[in-house]
Amino acid sequence: AVQLVESGGGLVQPKESLKISCAASGFTFSNAAMYWVRQAPGKGLEWVARIRTKPNNYATYYADSVKGRFTISRDDSKSMVYLQMDNLKTEDTAMYYCTSGGTTSDYWGQGVMVTVSS
């Protein structure tokens, strides 16, 4: 069965950094684009970042709200995707979901909570 398991969330202060991780299994990770989507408490969904596959040069894309502060990366040898979050702001407080899939497949993790507060 497909699994995406996020980890590394927690409470940090504004301007601090945090790196969250997502461990994938049950599908051919190296062939899959990976995404991070977040959801602030009681709010809607916001796409955060995307990373493509090796044949696509691991191209990365970011929402304007995080560009220059967040970095998505992947390690195909470990079937892991990461989100390095720097200069965190209170408005980055959210549940962060790791997600993947293609035209016919759709996979989501259970999410990891990141709280930015002084």
Partner 1 sequence: DIQMTQSPSFLSATVGDRVTINCKASQNINKYLNWYQQKLGEAPKRLIYNTNSLQTGIPSRFSGSGSGTDYTLTISSLQPEDVATYFCLQHNSGYTFGAGTKLELK
Using CB under 8 A, list all residues that contact partner 1: 35, 37, 44-47, 50, 61, 64, 97, 101, 103-104, 106, 108-111
Q: Which DSSP string corresponds to 36-71? A: EEEE-TTS-EEEEEEE--GGGTT-EEE-TTTTTTEE
Choose between 104 and 118: whose C-beta lies nearer to partner 1. Answer: 104
Choose between 45 and 59: whose C-beta lies nearer to partner 1. Answer: 45
β-pair partners for 11 = 115
The distance of closest approach from Cβ of residue 45 to partner 1 in the complex, given in angstroms and rounded to an integer, is: 4
Choose between 77 and 104: whose C-beta lies nearer to partner 1. Answer: 104
Residue labelled with tokens 């997502």: 22
The distance of closest approach from Cβ of residue 78 to partner 1 in the complex, given in angstroms and rounded to an integer, is: 22
Choose between 15 and 67: whose C-beta lies nearer to partner 1. Answer: 67
The distance of closest approach from Cβ of residue 42 to partner 1 in the complex, given in angstroms and rounded to an integer, is: 11
Q: Which residues contact 70 (CB under 8 A, 6 or more apart)?
A: 48, 49, 62, 83, 84, 85, 86
**Max CA pair span of the chain:** 42
